Amino acid sequence: VRALRKSGVEVLSLAAIGQGCPDLLCYRADKLFILEVKDGLKFRSQQKLTPHQTKFAKRWPVQVVNSIESALEAVGL
């Protein structure tokens, strides 16, 4: 979140909502981005979406990120 904000991205945490809702709603250059943050230090198998997250991602344009670099790339930086 710090890296996104430092790069000029508006960030709203949605993590407390739960029930498969993605972690971050980001706004940059008149565009909204929905990010699901996974721990990049864990094995790939441990970074999978939960069933609720998968259901949400089928209906919304969710991007899964697991590093600062992938988060910045997801918002076009």
- pTM assigned to the model: 0.93
11-56: pLDDT as tens digits: 999 999 999 999 999 999 999 999 999 999 999 999 999 999 999 9
Reduced to 3 states (helix: H, G, I; strand: E, B; else coil), residue 72 is: helix
pLDDT of residue 24: 99
Residue 75 has a pLDDT of: 98
What pLDDT is stored for residue 59 in this prediction? 97
pLDDT recorded at residue 43: 94
- For the chain, domains (ranges, CATH) are 2-74 (3.40.1350.10)
**pLDDT given for residue 36 in this prediction:** 98
Contacts of 71 (CB under 8 A, 6+ apart): 3, 4, 35, 37, 65
